[in-house]
Structure 1
Amino acid sequence: MNDNATRPQIAAPAHRLSVVVPMYNESENVEPLVRRVDEVLGNYAHPWELILVDDGSSDATPNELARVAALYGPHVRVVSLMRNFKQTAAMQAGVDAARGDVIVTMDGDLQNDPIDIPRMVARLLNEDLDLVSGWRKNRKDGMFLRKIPSRIANRLIARITGVRLNDYGCSLKAFRASVIKNIRLYGEMHRFIPAWLATVTTPRRIAEEVVTHHARQFGESKYGISRTFRVVLDLISVFFFMRYRARPGHFFGGIGLFLGMIGAAILTWLAGLKIFTGASIGGRPLLLLGFFCVIGAIQFISTGVLSETLARIYFESGAAAQYRVRDPDDLDSNEAWHTPA
C-alpha cells in the first residue's frame, strides 16, 4: 500500500483535519494503520490529528493503541470506551472528540486507504460540499452475500432520501465538522450517515468519490450474514425518520385515523341494521372488529402524540448517552496538532 504514499496533493483552503478511526479487537492493525496515515499525511499542508477510538476491545488493542500513540506523538489521540458500545457509538465518540474543521472517518481494518483522504478533503472544501462519501467501486470483500443487501439498501435509501450514492456502507467519508456535529448517531445507524445528514443539509451538498479498497490482511470481519436482517430493520427506521422525523404523530395518527374510519363505518352500519331491521348484532364478528378498530385508532393516535414528545426529548436533546468514556478529562487537554514542517 506504500506505492501511492507520495501522490501529489490537491490544494485546499486552510483547515484543520481530524481523522476518526473506531477500532474493536484490531490489535494487529493498530501500528500498520497509524504508520500508513503518517506516511500519507506526514507532509500534509494543514494541521491534522488522528483520533483512535477503542470500542471496548477484549484483545491487546488498548495496549497497542497506547504504545503507538506514545510513539508517534500527541497528535495521535486515543479515546477509550468503557465497554463495547458498537461501531456507531464509537464513531460518535470520535466525532465528539474531534477538534478539526473537517472530520474524516474510516475503518480500522486497513481496507480503507488513507491515500484517498487529501483528495476527498480537497473536493469537500473546493466544491463547498458538506459530505464526500467513499465509493468502493472495486470491492475486495469477496463475499457475494454481503454485497446483495448492500446494493438493495443503497437503492432503497436513495429513493427515500433523494441522496444518490452507490455505496452507503463505506466508512471512509469526509465531513464538514459544523454539519456532522449537528446530528447524533445511535443504534447501528453509521451505515446510513448520508441519509441522516440529509436532514440537516441539502442532498446537493453531498457527493461521492471513488476510493481504494483493500482485502483484509489481519484479524477477521466483525460482520456476518446476520447483517442482512439488521440492514432491513435499519431501513425501516431510516424510512420512518426521513419521512416522519419531525412529525411522528402523522405516521401513527394516519394509521389511527384509517382504523378509526373503518371501525366507525362498521359500527354505524351495524347500528343502522339494528335500528331499522331489528336484527341481532351481538354475535356478529363484525361487531368485535368494529370495536377493535376504534380502540386501535385511539391507541395509535395517542402513541403518535407521545412519540413526538419522546423523540424530541430522547434523541434531539442529546441527553441520552450513546457511550461512556473511561477518562473524559483526557479529552479536554490541549494536545498538539501535526503541523507542516
Structure 2
Amino acid sequence: MNISVVIPLLNEQESLTELHDWIVNVMQSNRFSYEIIFIDDGSTDDSWETISKLSEQNDNVRGIRFLKNFGKSQALHAGFDKAKGQVVITMDADLQDSPDEIPELYNMVTNDGFDLVSGWKKKRYDSVISKNMPSKLFNWAARKTSGVKLNDFNCGLKAYKIDVVKNIDVNGEMHRYIPVLSKNAGFTKIGEKVVQHQARKYGVTKFGMNRFIHGFLDLITIWFLSRFGKRPMHLFGALGFIMFAIGFAFSAYLGIDKLFLNPGGRLITQRPQFYIALATMVIGTQFFVAGFLGEIVLRNKSDKKRYLIKEKLNLN
C-alpha cells in the first residue's frame, strides 16, 4: 500500500464527506493504493455516523471511535498504530489542509529520501492577533529550543515514512512536536514544504489561545525529556550537588569563624548565613531524592492504555 491518510477529528461531520471525496479523487488520479483512517476523538455530533456510511461505500475507509475526547495526540497515536501504508499522511478534518498536496509530499518522502516532511502554511487565513502572532512566537521558541529548523510546527499536514510513526510515542499533547520526537528517535532528515492554507468552510475552530500556553509548557517538557528523560539524575544530581556545596561552604565558614576567628561572637543560630546553609543543604538533598525517584520510576514504568476505543471499522 502506498499511502495511509490519518485524520483525527472532533465534531467535523459537515466536512467529512467532502474531504473523503477530495482525497479519493487525488488518490485515483495518481493511481495510489491507499487507506483513509478517521479517528473520531469523542465527537458529539454525527461524525461517526458519516464515517460509518463512508466505510460502507469505500472499503479503503477505516474508522476508530474513542469512548470520549482524549486529545489529538492520542488520536494520532491510534491512527499510527493501525497505519499500513509506505507513507503516512496526517491532515486535519476541517478542509483547511488541501489533499492536493499529497502527491508532492509522497514524492518528497519516497524519492527525495526525507523521513518526515512538514507543511508550512506560509499564507494563512487566520486572525493575525489570535493565531498568527502567537504562532510565530511559538514556532520561534520551538526552533531555538529543539534545533529543528521548521517554520510551522503546528501544521497538521505532514508526511512520514512508516518507520517513523511506528517508532515514536505521541502522548499527552506532544502532537505539536512530532518532528522533535522524530529527531530524538534518530530520524533526522526532516524537510518542509509550503502548502496551501484554506479558510475554514464549516463549523468553528476547536483551539483557543490556551493551546499556545499549553504548547510552551509542552516545549519545556520535551526539552527536559530529550535532554534528561533517560537520565534524570544527571540534572537533579547536578542541581543537588550545587545547592549542597553552597550550603556546606556557608557551614564551613560559620564553623571556622566561630572556632578560630571570632569565638566570642554571636551564636551560629543567630547569624543569617546559618539559615542560608540550612536551606540550601535541605534543597540539595531534595534534588538528590528527586533524581533517585526519577531513576526508580524510569526503570519500573509499565505501558498502559491512554485511551479507550468504543468501535472500529474495517480494522483488525
Q: TM-score, normalised by structure 2?
A: 0.94
Structure 1 position 248 matched with structure 2 position 232: yes
Structure 1 position 298 matched with structure 2 position 285: yes
Consecutive unaligned residues in structure 1, runs of 5 or more = 1-14, 333-341
| Equivalent residue for 1:218, pick from 196, 202, 214 | 202
Amino acid at match of 2:268: I
Q: 1:141-172 deviations in whole A, cap 9, x for unaligned? A: 12423222322222222223221111111010
Q: Which moved more, 1:126-135 or 1:158-167?
A: 158-167
Cα offset, 1:244, TM superposition: 1.9
Cross-structure match for 1:320: 304
Cross-structure match for 1:80: 65
- The structure-2 alpha-carbon separation of the partners of 1:270 and 1:237, relative to structure 1 and needing over 3 Å to count, comes to same
Question: What are the within-5 Å matches in structure 2 for residues 178-257 of structure 1?
Answer: 178-203=163-188, 205-257=189-241
Cα offset, 1:245, TM superposition: 2.6
Structure 1 position 162 matched with structure 2 position 131: no
| Equivalent residue for 2:274, pick from 284, 287, 299 | 287
Amino acid at match of 2:213: F
Looking at structure 2, the residues matched to 145 and 261 of structure 1 have their Cα atoms a distance apart, in angstroms, of 47
Contact 1:131 1:175 in 2 (8 A): yes
Q: 1:48-76 deviations in whole A, cap 9, x for unaligned? A: 100000001111111111122212x1210
Give the secondary-structure state (helix, strand or coil) at the position aligned to 2:184.
Answer: coil
Amino acid at match of 2:106: V
Give the secondary-structure state (helix, strand or coil) at the position aligned to 2:135.
Answer: helix
Report sequence identity in percent.
35
Structure 1 position 108 matched with structure 2 position 93: yes
Looking at structure 2, the residues matched to 152 and 38 of structure 1 have their Cα atoms a distance apart, in angstroms, of 36
Moved over 3 A (4+): 311-314, 327-330
Q: 1:19-53 deviations in whole A, cap 9, x for unaligned? A: 00001011111111111111211233331100000
Structure 1 position 17 matched with structure 2 position 3: yes
Looking at structure 2, the residues matched to 329 and 308 of structure 1 have their Cα atoms a distance apart, in angstroms, of 41
Looking at structure 2, the residues matched to 220 and 311 of structure 1 have their Cα atoms a distance apart, in angstroms, of 41
Cross-structure match for 2:252: 268
Looking at structure 1, the residues matched to 141 and 120 of structure 2 have their Cα atoms a distance apart, in angstroms, of 17
Looking at structure 1, the residues matched to 211 and 111 of structure 2 have their Cα atoms a distance apart, in angstroms, of 36
**Aligned Cα root-mean-square deviation (Å):** 1.7
Cross-structure match for 1:51: 37
Contact 2:59 2:314 in 1 (8 A): no
Consecutive unaligned residues in structure 2, runs of 5 or more = none
Looking at structure 1, the residues matched to 96 and 299 of structure 2 have their Cα atoms a distance apart, in angstroms, of 37
Q: 1:295-328 deviations in whole A, cap 9, x for unaligned? A: 21111122123223424654xx6x1222222246
Cα offset, 1:88, TM superposition: 0.8
How many aligned positions are there? 313
Give the secondary-structure state (helix, strand or coil) at the position aligned to 1:198.
Answer: helix
Give the secondary-structure state (helix, strand or coil) at the position aligned to 2:18.
Answer: helix
Contact 2:61 2:314 in 1 (8 A): no
Q: Which moved more, 1:275-284 or 1:123-132?
A: 275-284
- The structure-2 alpha-carbon separation of the partners of 1:114 and 1:206, relative to structure 1 and needing over 3 Å to count, comes to same
